[in-house]
Structure 1
Amino acid sequence: MQILLPIFYLPPISWFAVFLQDDAEIIFEQYENFPKQTYRNRTNIYGANGKLSLIIPMNHNGTRLLKEIQTSTREKWQHIHWKSIKTAYQTSPYFEYYEDKLEKIFSFKTASLVEFNLNALKIVQKLLKTEKAYSLNNEYFKEPEYLNYRDQLSAKTETNFQMVEYYQSFSDKFGYLKDLSIIDLLCNKGPEALTYIKNVKTK
């Protein structure tokens, strides 16, 4: 089964549930026009005041093609995002265990959004102890022959993937927040994160 997946920034759990399907051959979409307000440049974590969106600022140079999109170099967003993650998860059970490797995500130097996201994925795969292969597409198809997830995983609507609740750092305050960034799952579930993902019921 071939699946066309968008390239997300520290993707939500639902994305990993699709990505890590055993029988799936994953192809990443890099030739689409960059859609705004999606997980391609944002990730949701659990902050002290509830859900917190971390958004990578774009360098608006006229291009719309995802593979050519560049991140802003004027703003210290990598420093800000790492500080937010550290503040949110420093009391979680596994943050200290993963801290050094997670920090490397934000010291990676590139202006390319795709390169940044793929490097972060490489680090996350190591933390999950998985080596799922993927390829990048060579052109854009409006109606691809693959199973198409480009518009399926929305940052604006709640996922209908079925997930078991797990304890989160601020659940006592705001309750369980579903389908946050893979960072939330790793910091709270640690080595059990991969098993958890495999048990998520996909659509």
Structure 2
Amino acid sequence: MKNPDHRTPTPEPLFPLKRIAIDLHYLPTLEFFAAIYGAEELLLFPDDLYQRQSFLNRTRILLANKVETLSIPIQGRRPKIPMRLVKIDYSQKWQAIHLRGIQSAYGKAPFFEYFFPYFQKVLEGHGASLWELNYSLLTICLKLLRWPVNLTVVENGQIPEEVLDLRGLIDPKRHFSQNGYYQAHPYVQVFGVDFEPNLSVLDLLFCHGPQAEELLKQSLKKP
């Protein structure tokens, strides 16, 4: 009997463990989603320390002539503090910059008009916490990918047994080829002749909509 939504059944994940501890990134990269592919539960730790120059407050999108990094400014330059205490600095008007950048990058993408309102609503809000913003955006990404993943917030910071801990491994300073999760699988992008790998999942969602899940599966790094 044919699958009613014509989607390929989800394969077993690369790792036998289906509970994964992961950092809460801002509009995560394709490497992030390749790393959690097949997981049934993601464990998130609000008391983990905020790391500067990380994916916790930045993402990458493809404009007409370059890859642009979008960064969320945070209040103060204090020593490392728990993610749940990191406050967003709205005095810098970053929301308009990010929304304008996303519209410039993907306004002509096939699925932009369908998916953009989900992100626009969250990005136009004024939640004080970076943690809350990232959590809301990750929930939307998983919804649009149609991944039935449970998100569990671990308040005490203790990692349970039988959990694959990927925290700290997906980082802008560490090329994705150094990890064992994602390999570049070209797909049609809005701009450029040469494929630009490992952008924000926005790139894949806006360009390919319901095919995003299948394309992500093809980008899983083979053992």
- Give the TM-score of the pair, scaled to structure 1: 0.89
Q: For residues 149 and 96 of structure 1, what CA distance do their matches in structure 2 show?
A: 33
Structure 1 counterpart of 2:202, one-letter code? I
Of 206, 214, 223, 1:187 maps to: 206
The structure where strand makes up a greater share of residues is: 1
Q: For residues 34 and 19 of structure 1, what CA distance do their matches in structure 2 show?
A: 21
Asked whether the 8 Å contact 2:73–2:88 carries over to 1, the reply is yes
2:185 pairs with 1:164:
yes
How many angstroms does 1:61 deviate by? 6.9
2:77 pairs with 1:56:
no
Q: Residue in 2 aligned with 1:8?
A: 25
How many angstroms does 1:141 deviate by? 5.3
Q: 1:61 to 1:158 in 2, by over 3 A?
A: closer
Q: Which runs of 5+ in 1 are unaligned?
A: none
Q: For residues 126 and 104 of structure 1, what CA distance do their matches in structure 2 show?
A: 15
How many angstroms does 1:12 deviate by? 0.3
Number of aligned residues: 200
Structure 1 counterpart of 2:209, one-letter code? G
Matched position secondary structure for 2:199: coil
Q: For residues 129 and 189 of structure 1, what CA distance do their matches in structure 2 show?
A: 14
Matched position secondary structure for 1:52: strand
- CA offset digits 1:66-91 (Å, max 9, x no partner): 11111102111112101100011112
Of 60, 64, 75, 2:92 maps to: 75
Asked whether the 8 Å contact 1:30–1:136 carries over to 2, the reply is yes
- Give the TM-score of the pair, scaled to structure 2: 0.81
Matched position secondary structure for 1:196: helix
State the superposition RMSD in angstroms.
2.2
Structure 2 counterpart of 1:103, one-letter code? Q
Q: Which has the larger radius of gyration?
A: 2
